[in-house]
Chain A
Amino acid sequence: MISEHIPALQVVVPLLAAPICFMILNNRMAWLFATLVSWLSFAMAIMLVMEVKDGTVLRYEFGGWAPPWGIEYSVDILNAYVLLIVSGIAAVVFPYSWKSIQKEIPESHYRIYFTAMLLCLAGLLGMTITGDAFNLFVLLEISSLSSYTLISLGRDRRALTASFQYLIMGTIGATFILIGIGLLYALTGTLNMADLAVRIPPLEGSRTLEAAFAFLIVGFGLKLAMFPLHLWLPNAYAFAPSAVSAFIGSTATKVAIYALLRFLFTIFGTKFSFDYMQVHWLLMPLAVVSIMFASIVAVFQDGIKRLLAYSSVAQIGYMLLGISLVNVTGLTGTLLHLFNHALMKGGLFLTLGAVAYQIGNTRVKSVAGLGQAMPFTMGAFVVGALSLIGVPLTVGFISKWYLILATLEKGYWPLTVLILISSLIAVVYTWRIIETAYFQDRPADAPPVSEAPLSLLIPAWTLIAANLYFGINSSLSTELASSAATMLFGGNL
C-alpha cells in the first residue's frame, strides 16, 4: 500500500522533483511541475494530520532498518502540524511565483529558482518529520543552502551581501548544532531522537550534556533569529525576491522553532531543560528585548519589507515568550503563533510582491495613493496588518489571547502589559503604511498604476482569507496546537 509510505514520500517527492525540475528546459513547464509537487506535498501533509490527529504516532523505518540503527521518520501531532504549515504556504507561494519572478529574476534563472524552492521545501519538511538527530542537521543544511541561493537571486546587489551574511551566520549556527549532536552521540551512542530521550535523563549533571545543550540552544537560536542572533534576518528578507521572502519568512524560522521545541521537550525533556538548566530564564529576557527592540526599530524603517522583517523578529519573540512561560497555555500560544504568523506574514509579503510587480519597489513613500489605485492589493494589506496587530476576528488575536492568558496564569502581569504595548507599536508601524496608501495622493509626476494581475491577487487573498477564517473558526488550529502542547508536556514522542 502506498499510504504506508507517505511519511517518506512527503520528503522524497520534493527532493527528487528538484533535479527533475532542473532538467525540464521549458520554464513554464518547470513552474507547473513545481506547483504540482507543492500541491502534492500539501495533500500528503493533510493526510498525515488526519492520521495522527487522535494521538497515534506514525513511524517509518527507512529501508527496513529498525531504529536506533536505521534512520526513522516519526510523525506525531506536533510535526504533522508543522508539516501542514510549511507545505500549505508552499502550495500558495509556488503558483504565485510565476508572475512575481517575471519582474524580479532574469528569465535564465527561472529553473534554478524552482529547483532551489523545491530543495528548500524538501529540507524544511525533512527537518520537521525526521526522528534522527543527524538527519535533522543534513536536512537543515539542504534547506539553508537553497535559501542562501534564493535570497541571492534578488534584484538589488545588497541581496548578495545579505545572502553572504546569512550564509556565514547560518553555517555557524548549523555547526554549533553539529557539535551539540556530536556531544550527545559521544554520551549516549545513539542519534535516534526517541532513543536519546530515554538515555539522557540518567546523565543529568554531566558537564558534556550541559555543553551539548548550550551548543544546541545557540545553534537553533541563530537559525530562528533569536535576539541578539537575528542580525542576518532583516536584510535577507528585505532584498530577497518577493515570493522568496514570503516563503522563507513564513516557514524557515518556524521550522527552527519546531526543532528547538523538539530538543527542549522531547529529547532533553522538560525536567532537564527547565528544572535543571532553567533555560526559560535565558529565553524570557531575550524574548522581551526582541519584542520591544524589534517593534520599535520596525517603526523607523523606510522599506516595507525590512519593516515586516523586523516585525518578524518581534513575532519570534512572542513564540519564545510562550516557550519560556513553561505552561501548556503558553506553549499552545507559541504553536498557534507558528501557524498564525505564517499566515499573516505570508499574506503580507505576497501582497507586497503584488505592489512590487506594479510599481517596482516597496518603499513606504512609494505606496502613496495606492489605496485608490490598487484597492484589492491594499485591502489585503490592511487585513494582514490588522492580523499582525491582533485585532479580534483575525488569527493574530487568537495567539495573543493565549499568550496573555498564559502570562496571567503565571501571574507575570508585566508581560501582559508588554504584549499589549508591543501590539500598540504594531499599530504605529502598520498605520504609517496604511496612512500613506490611503490618505496621501500619488505624486503628480508618477506613472499611472493599475490593479495587480489576478495570478498575484488570488494567492495573496487566499492567505489573507485564511487569516480571517482561522480567526473566526479557530477550532482546527487551536485543537491541534493544544493537543501538541499537552503531548510535549506529557513527554512522549
Chain B
Amino acid sequence: MISLELYNYWVVIFLMMAGFYTLIVSNHLIKKIVGLNIFQTSVFMLYISMGKVAGGTAPIAAEGIETYSNPLPHVLILTAIVVGIATTSLALALVIRIKESYGTVQENEILELDHISDTGPQA
C-alpha cells in the first residue's frame, strides 16, 4: 500500500526518474541540461523533506515556539542550489560554444561530425 503520508518522497522519486530519463534519452543538449536540473531538484526536495518536522516552524528563538524544523538540511541545500546554478550556467556556456563551432546542438549530428574529423587529424 502506498503511504500517502510520505507523498513528498514519491514526488522526489518521480522527479528523479523523470529527470534522469530526460537526461539519458534526449538528443538535444539543452534538453539534457533541463533533465539534469530536474534530477538535481529532486535531491533538493529530498533534503528539504527530511529536515521538515510536522507542525514545526522556522527555528527562531521566540516565546511559544516549541517545535521547529531542522535548519541544517535546508542550509545545506542552499549550497547545493548554488552548485547547481554554477553547473547549469557552465553547461549552457558550453552549449553556446558547441553551437558556434559545430552549428548544431543535436547530439547525433555532433557525433557524426566528430566521426568525420576522426578520420582527419586527431589530437
Answer whether residue B98 sits at the interface, using C-beta atoms and an 8 A cutoff. Answer: yes
Shortest C-beta distance, A129 to chain B (Å), equals 18
Whether B123 pairs with A168 at a CB distance below 8 angstroms is: no
Q: What range describes how many residues of B lie at the interface?
A: 20 to 34
Chain B residues whose CB sits within 8 angstroms of the CB of A222 once the complex forms: none
A175-B123 contact given A161-B98, A164-B91, CB 8 Å threshold: no
Specify which of B47, B76, B83, B86 lies most central, judged by the most chain A CB atoms within 10 Å of its CB.
Answer: B83
Q: CB-defined interface of A284-306 with B at 8 Å, one 1/0 digit per residue?
A: 00000000000000000011011
List B residues 50-98 near A (Cβ within 8 Å): 50, 72-73, 76, 79-80, 83, 86-87, 90-91, 94-95, 97-98
Chain B residues whose CB sits within 8 angstroms of the CB of A302 once the complex forms: 122
Whether B123 pairs with A362 at a CB distance below 8 angstroms is: yes
Q: CB-defined interface of A4-33 with B at 8 Å, one 1/0 digit per residue?
A: 000000000000000000000000000000
Whether A178 pairs with B123 at a CB distance below 8 angstroms is: no
Answer whether residue A274 sits at the interface, using C-beta atoms and an 8 A cutoff. Answer: no
Chain A residues whose CB sits within 8 angstroms of the CB of B15 once the complex forms: none
Whether A178 pairs with B43 at a CB distance below 8 angstroms is: yes
Answer whether residue A199 sits at the interface, using C-beta atoms and an 8 A cutoff. Answer: no
| Complex-state Cα separation, A175 to B47, whole angstroms | 12
A303-B43 contact given A145-B87, A145-B90, CB 8 Å threshold: no
Chain A residues whose CB sits within 8 angstroms of the CB of B94 once the complex forms: 148, 152, 160, 163-164, 167
A158-B97 contact given A141-B83, A186-B50, CB 8 Å threshold: no
A361-B23 contact given A164-B94, A167-B90, CB 8 Å threshold: no
List A residues 157-190 near B (Cβ within 8 Å): 157-158, 160-161, 163-164, 167-168, 171-172, 174-175, 178-179, 182, 185-186
| Complex-state Cα separation, A155 to B101, whole angstroms | 12
Answer whether residue A59 sits at the interface, using C-beta atoms and an 8 A cutoff. Answer: no
| Complex-state Cα separation, A49 to B73, whole angstroms | 34
Answer whether residue A138 sits at the interface, using C-beta atoms and an 8 A cutoff. Answer: yes
Whether B32 pairs with A168 at a CB distance below 8 angstroms is: yes
Chain B residues whose CB sits within 8 angstroms of the CB of A172 once the complex forms: 20, 23, 36, 39
Inter-chain contact total with CB atoms closer than 8 Å: 86
Answer whether residue A363 sits at the interface, using C-beta atoms and an 8 A cutoff. Answer: yes
Whether B91 pairs with A167 at a CB distance below 8 angstroms is: yes
| Complex-state Cα separation, A160 to B102, whole angstroms | 10
Q: What range describes how many residues of A lie at the interface?
A: 35 or more
Whether A141 pairs with B87 at a CB distance below 8 angstroms is: yes
Whether A164 pairs with B95 at a CB distance below 8 angstroms is: yes
| Complex-state Cα separation, A157 to B117, whole angstroms | 10
Shortest C-beta distance, B25 to chain A (Å), equals 13
Whether A303 pairs with B40 at a CB distance below 8 angstroms is: no
List A residues 410-464 near B (Cβ within 8 Å): none
Whether A164 pairs with B23 at a CB distance below 8 angstroms is: no
A138-B110 contact given A361-B123, A363-B122, CB 8 Å threshold: no
Closest to B32 in A: A168
Interface of chain A: mostly helix, strand, loop or mixed: helix
| Complex-state Cα separation, A219 to B61, whole angstroms | 38
| Complex-state Cα separation, A251 to B123, whole angstroms | 22
Answer whether residue A134 sits at the interface, using C-beta atoms and an 8 A cutoff. Answer: yes
Answer whether residue A343 sits at the interface, using C-beta atoms and an 8 A cutoff. Answer: no
A182-B98 contact given A145-B90, A158-B123, A362-B123, CB 8 Å threshold: no
From the candidates B47, B83, B98, B123, name the one contacting A160 in the complex (CB within 8 A).
B98
Chain A residues whose CB sits within 8 angstroms of the CB of B47 once the complex forms: 182
| Complex-state Cα separation, A302 to B119, whole angstroms | 10
Whether B121 pairs with A363 at a CB distance below 8 angstroms is: yes
Shortest C-beta distance, B118 to chain A (Å), equals 8
Specify which of B73, B97, B98, B122 lies most central, judged by the most chain A CB atoms within 10 Å of its CB.
Answer: B122
A149-B123 contact given A160-B101, A172-B39, A175-B43, CB 8 Å threshold: no
Whether B79 pairs with A156 at a CB distance below 8 angstroms is: no
| Complex-state Cα separation, A174 to B29, whole angstroms | 19
| Complex-state Cα separation, A303 to B20, whole angstroms | 33
| Complex-state Cα separation, A18 to B97, whole angstroms | 24
| Complex-state Cα separation, A174 to B87, whole angstroms | 11
Whether A175 pairs with B39 at a CB distance below 8 angstroms is: yes
A149-B90 contact given A141-B83, A164-B95, A175-B39, CB 8 Å threshold: yes
From the candidates A134, A145, A185, A239, name the one contacting B123 in the complex (CB within 8 A).
A239
Shortest C-beta distance, B36 to chain A (Å), equals 6
Shortest C-beta distance, A38 to chain B (Å), equals 24
| Complex-state Cα separation, A363 to B119, whole angstroms | 12
| Complex-state Cα separation, A155 to B21, whole angstroms | 32
A134-B36 contact given A161-B114, A167-B87, A182-B47, CB 8 Å threshold: no
Answer whether residue A259 sits at the interface, using C-beta atoms and an 8 A cutoff. Answer: no
Shortest C-beta distance, B75 to chain A (Å), equals 10
Chain B residues whose CB sits within 8 angstroms of the CB of A167 once the complex forms: 87, 90-91, 94
| Complex-state Cα separation, A185 to B51, whole angstroms | 10
Chain B residues whose CB sits within 8 angstroms of the CB of A134 once the complex forms: 76, 79
| 7 residue pairs A–B, Cβ–Cβ below 8 Å | A156-B123, A171-B87, A172-B20, A172-B39, A174-B83, A175-B40, A302-B122
Per CB-CB distance, the 7 closest pairs between chain A and chain B, nearest first, are A157-B101, A303-B122, A186-B50, A141-B83, A164-B94, A160-B98, A156-B123
A172-B23, A172-B39 given; 4 more Cβ-contact pairs under 8 Å:
A141-B83, A161-B98, A182-B73, A363-B121
